[in-house]
Structure 1
Amino acid sequence: MLTRHFRLYLAVALLSAILMTFQSARGPLRPFAIFSRAINTINLTLTLARISISDTLQAISSDKSETRRLEAEVRDLKLRLMEHQKLQKENIRLREMLAFKIAEPRQVAIATVISRSALRWSSSMMIDKGTSDGVQK
C-alpha cells in the first residue's frame, strides 16, 4: 500500500515539475483563455442586444408621449374648427338678417322661433321678441 501512495506522490511531483518547466519556457498556461473569448463574445452580444432593446423601448415611449400630445392638439383644433364654423354660420345668418332689414322699408323686428305648437292644426309659435322690443299684436 505504501508503494501505491508513493507512486501517486511521485507522479504528482513529476507532473508538477514538468508543468513548471513548460511554464518557465513558454509562459504561464491559460487553459480558460478559449472560454474567456467565447464568454466575452456572448457578453458583448448580450450587451448590444440590451442597448438595442433599451433604445427601442425609449423610442416607443417617446412615440407614445408624442401621440398623446398630437391627440390633444387634434382635439383642440377640432374645437377651434367647430367654433369657427359656428361663427361662420352666425355671420351668414346676421348678413341675411341685415339684407332683409335693408330690403324691407317698413319697421321690422327679426326674431328667432323658440318653440312651435305640438298640434298639427295649430300654427302658433313662440319667438324671442316681445312688447319690450316693440312687437305688437
Structure 2
Amino acid sequence: MILAGSRRRVSLFVALVVLAGALLTLQVRSPERRAVGPVGQAVLSVLLPAQVSLGRAADAVIRSWRALNEIGQLRVENARLRAEVEALRREVARLQEASAEAERLRRLVGFRAPDPYATVAARVVARDPSRWYTTLIVDRGSRDGVSRNDPVVTADGLVGRVFEVYPSAARVLLVTDPRSAVGVLVQSSRDAGVVEGTATERLRLRYLSRSSPLREGDVLVTSGLGGVFPRGIRVGVVRAVVRSVGALFQEAEVEPATDLSRLEEVLVMVRPTAAR
C-alpha cells in the first residue's frame, strides 16, 4: 500500500514536470519571442496587482524623500536669506546713524562763534537720568582749552555753560537747570529780561517790562550782559505769555532753541588765554 502510494506521487510529479516543460517549450517556439506565453500570462495575472501596488508605494516613497530633501534645502536657504536680511538691516542702521551724525556735525561746523571765541567740538558722554535737564558731561576738558563758564552751544542755539572742568572732561550746567540764569533780549523789541531754568524741558522768562509787546513766537537771544555769554546767541522761543494782575513784570514760558533731551554733540566756546 505504501509502495503504491509512493509510485502515484512520483508519477504525478513527473507528469507536472513534463507539462511545465511542454508549456515552456511552446512559449519559446512562439513566432513572437517577446510575447508573453500562457505561463507568463498566468504569472503576470497573479503578480501584476502586487507589482502595481509596490510601484505606487515606491513612487510615494520617492516623492516623500524628494519633498523632505527640498524642505531641508529650503530651510537652509531660508536661514541663509534671514542672515543676509539681518546683516542688511544692521548695515542700513549703521549707515542711517552715520548719516545722522554727519548731518549734525555738518551743522555744528557751520556755526560761527563771535570773536574772540574759538570752538571745541565735544561729545556728550554721560547724563544723569534723574536730573536730565540739569547737567551733562562732555569729553573735553582743560587739556583741550576748556575752562569754567565757557558757553556751550549747538547750531540751533544755547545749551548752557561749563561749571566744572577736569583734565579730559567737563560738566555742563544746562540752561534748564534751576541754578541757570541768562540775560536775554526779545529779538523783535530789544526789551531785556532773564531766562531761568525750571528743571523741565521749558524755560521761564522773568523780569520783562510789563509794557513790552511780548507775544507767542517771539525769539529770545542772549543780551551779552554779565560777561558769560556773548551777545546774539539764540536762547528760545516764547510759547505762552503770563501777565499777572498788579505785577510789575510779565513772564513767559519759553521753549529752548536746542532740543536738550537729545544732545549728542556740542560746541564749547573757548576764549584765548589772554581774554580770560
TM-score of the superposed pair, with normalisation by structure 2: 0.38
Give a deviation string over 1:99-124, Cα, whole Å, max 9, x none. 12x3x23322233333356786x944
CA distance in 2, matches of 1:24, 1:119: 104
Number of residue pairs aligned between Structure 1 and Structure 2: 129
CA distance in 2, matches of 1:36, 1:119: 88
- Contact (CA 8 Å) 1:116, 1:124: kept in 2 or not? yes
Q: Which residue of 1 aligns with 2:140?
A: 129
Instruction: Please tell me the residue identity of whatever aligns with 1:53.
Output: S
Please identify, of 49-58 and 21-30, the stretch whose mean Cα deviation from structure 2 is larger: 21-30
Instruction: Please tell me the residue identity of whatever aligns with 1:47.
Output: A
Higher relative contact order (CA 8 A, sep 6+): 2
Q: Does 1:70 align with 2:69?
A: no
Change (3 A) 1:37 1:135: same
Give a deviation string over 1:16-69, Cα, whole Å, max 9, x none. 48x839848965753433122112212221221122111111110110110111
- Structure 2: tracts of 5 or more residues without a match: 28-36, 149-276
Q: Which residue of 1 aligns with 2:48?
A: 37
CA distance in 1, matches of 2:61, 2:19: 43
Q: Which residue of 2 aligns with 1:54?
A: 65
Please identify, of 30-39 and 65-74, the stretch whose mean Cα deviation from structure 2 is larger: 30-39
CA distance in 1, matches of 2:38, 2:91: 78
Q: Secondary structure at the match of 2:120?
A: coil
Instruction: Please tell me the residue identity of whatever aligns with 2:19.
Output: M
- Structure 1: tracts of 5 or more residues without a match: none
TM-score of the superposed pair, with normalisation by structure 1: 0.70
Q: Which residue of 1 aligns with 2:93?
A: 82
CA distance in 2, matches of 1:20, 1:119: 108
Q: Which residue of 1 aligns with 2:126?
A: 115
- What is the Cα-based RMSD across aligned positions, in Å? 3.5
Please identify, of 22-31 and 58-67, the stretch whose mean Cα deviation from structure 2 is larger: 22-31
Q: Does 1:105 align with 2:122?
A: no
- Contact (CA 8 Å) 1:116, 1:123: kept in 2 or not? no
Q: Secondary structure at the match of 2:99?
A: helix
Higher strand share: 2
Q: Which residue of 1 aligns with 2:8?
A: 9
Change (3 A) 1:20 1:89: same
